Amino acid sequence: MFTNSEIKIENLPKAEAVSLNPISKSYLYIISINIAIQYSVLFGLLILAHVFIKKEWVSSAFYYAITVLLLLFVFQCVISYLSFKKRGYALRTQDIIYAKGWLNHQRTTVPFIRIQHLETKQSFIAKKLKLASLYVYTAGESGGDLSISGLPIDEAINIHSLLTSKINEHV
């Protein structure tokens, strides 16, 4: 016989109650280097425009543009630092959870049964710092993919192996 019983909200498992493992503090260096490169290019373009474009409005706007760019740089550094402190992941028996963001906090949970395939990648800088990123791809195009950057390489490989074995259990 078909039943469709009510589920009480207070009886649901609390994803927020899970303690998250932090991302390696070395990953903050990668974030900082990326921001520095990004703003160095922008500052360089502004300086080139100031030197090579001999228009009066360019000279007067140059100092305003530098000030705005400097303020944006400081703002992005602060936001990136505060957001970094909110990054974390957890493995449970049936799923993986990843949380990130300070202003826009996002918590993504991917059940093992939905995982299509996994990748572990390293950038040049991450390789020097012995860090890696773990990419978890899910079935479908709903944007359910998950990436965890800033894992120590050994930890990323161990999680990759664990998830692979969990996926193979469901096949």
Q: pLDDT digit of tens for each residue in the chain (171 aa)?
A: 788 888 888 887 776 678 999 999 999 999 999 999 999 999 999 989 888 887 777 777 888 999 999 999 999 999 999 999 999 999 999 999 999 999 899 999 999 999 999 999 999 999 999 999 999 999 776 655 899 999 999 999 999 999 999 888 866
Distance CA 159, CA 167 (A): 12
| pTM of the full structure | 0.81
User: Which amino acid would we find at residue 36?
Assistant: A
Sign of CA dihedral 133, 77, 85, 25: positive
**CATH class of the domain at 88-170:** mainly beta
The pair phi, psi for residue 147, each rounded to 5°, is -130, 135
Q: Name the token pair of 152.
A: 């120590």
Where do the DSSP E strands lie in 16-145?
Answer: 21-22, 88-91, 95-100, 106-111, 115-121, 131-138
The pair phi, psi for residue 92, each rounded to 5°, is -115, 180
C-alpha torsion angle, residues 80, 85, 90, 96 (rounded to 10): -20
